[in-house]
């Protein structure tokens, strides 16, 4: 951390009253020093000199203080933006959290024409995840969840939405997708997830996912679409897991 950043951090930690006192004190001391120098160097015998020196002092004092305040405001805006982003993301995977996924998906539903489908929804669940936690520990389980999140992000488009909505449960909304694209992307995720156990050296323990696909019907709510996808996910589990099921 450089001196400026350290000073900004310490200054920002002070109370507002102390911050104001420090800025006023710095401005006063700087102005007094510059006024004294001007008096002894060029003299202040005429009104013109007094006005000119005062103007120069104001500019010289206000520029660094203004730059400091602008820099502080910029840092605060960056921090606020970062906190806002973090509040909408899942810490472990970097995907959207449940609330943000619901909000953004519902916006897509409202933006679509009443007679058109908004896209396709994937409901994804890690298979036998409790067994991984029990055998290798929760830290390894977290690594598996993280890697599943990376697999999902790597296989969807920029207009698509992905979220972790529970412990080992994920949802993906493929904007304007038909069943063909949804099935293709689901199988890409399915195949990529199988390599996670090998990459994490889980002693040949399989890491697989089950996926249920639901197309959004025109006028259908998000909850209704999720219920259909959940039904197909349940079917995938009962058919032996490690598969994609849709209607």
CB 65 within 8 A of CB 31: no
pLDDT in tens, 135-145: 999 999 999 99
pLDDT mean over 2-14: 67
The pLDDT assigned to 10 comes to 73
Q: What is the DSSP string of 200-224?
A: TT-TT----EEEEEEEPPTT--HHH
Give the Cα separation of 205 and 44 in Å (integer): 86
Query: Strand 119-126 to strand 209-215: parallel, antiparallel, or no bridges (unpaired)?
Result: antiparallel
The pLDDT assigned to 52 comes to 62
Catalytic residue among 100, 143, 168, 201: 168
List, in sequence order, every beta strand (DSSP E) within 110-203.
119-126, 161-164, 169-175
Looking at the predicted structure, is the pLDDT value of residue 78 above 80?
A: no
The pLDDT assigned to 69 comes to 65
Average pLDDT in the chain: 84
The predicted model scores a pTM of: 0.69
Q: Catalytic annotation on 201?
A: no
pLDDT in tens, 90-137: 989 999 999 999 999 999 888 888 788 899 999 999 999 999 999 999
**Structural tokens at position 3:** 């001196």
**Structural tokens at position 164:** 């972790």
Continuous segment of H or E residues that includes residue 35: helix 16-41
- How far from each other are the two terminal CA atoms of the chain, in whole angstroms? 56
Looking at the predicted structure, is the pLDDT value of residue 229 above 90?
A: yes
The pLDDT assigned to 45 comes to 64
């Amino acid at each position: 951390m450089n001196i400026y950043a350290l000073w900004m951090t310490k200054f920002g930690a002070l109370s507002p009253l102390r911050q104001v006192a420090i800025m006023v004190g710095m401005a006063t001391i700087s102005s007094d020093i510059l006024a004294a120098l001007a008096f002894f160097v060029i003299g202040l015998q005429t009104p013109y000199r007094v006005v000119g020196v005062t103007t120069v002092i104001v500019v010289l004092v206000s520029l660094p203080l203004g730059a400091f305040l602008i820099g502080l405001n910029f840092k605060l805006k960056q921090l606020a933006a970062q906190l806002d982003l973090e509040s909408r993301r899942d810490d472990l995977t970097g995907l959207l959290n449940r609330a943000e996924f619901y909000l953004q998906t519902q916006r897509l539903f409202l933006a679509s024409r009443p007679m058109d489908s908004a896209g396709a929804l994937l409901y994804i669940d890690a298979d036998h995840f409790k067994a991984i936690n029990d055998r290798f520990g929760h830290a390894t389980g977290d690594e598996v969840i993280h890697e599943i999140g990376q697999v999902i992000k790597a296989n969807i488009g920029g207009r698509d939405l992905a979220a972790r909505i529970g412990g080992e449960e994920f949802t993906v909304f493929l904007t304007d997708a038909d069943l063909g694209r949804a099935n293709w992307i689901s199988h890409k995720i399915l195949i990529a997830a199988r390599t996670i156990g090998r990459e994490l050296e889980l002693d040949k323990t399989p890491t697989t996912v089950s996926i249920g696909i639901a197309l959004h019907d025109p006028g259908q709510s998000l909850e209704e679409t999720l219920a259909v996808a959940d039904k197909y996910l349940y079917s995938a589990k009962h058919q032996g897991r490690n598969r994609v099921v849709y209607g």
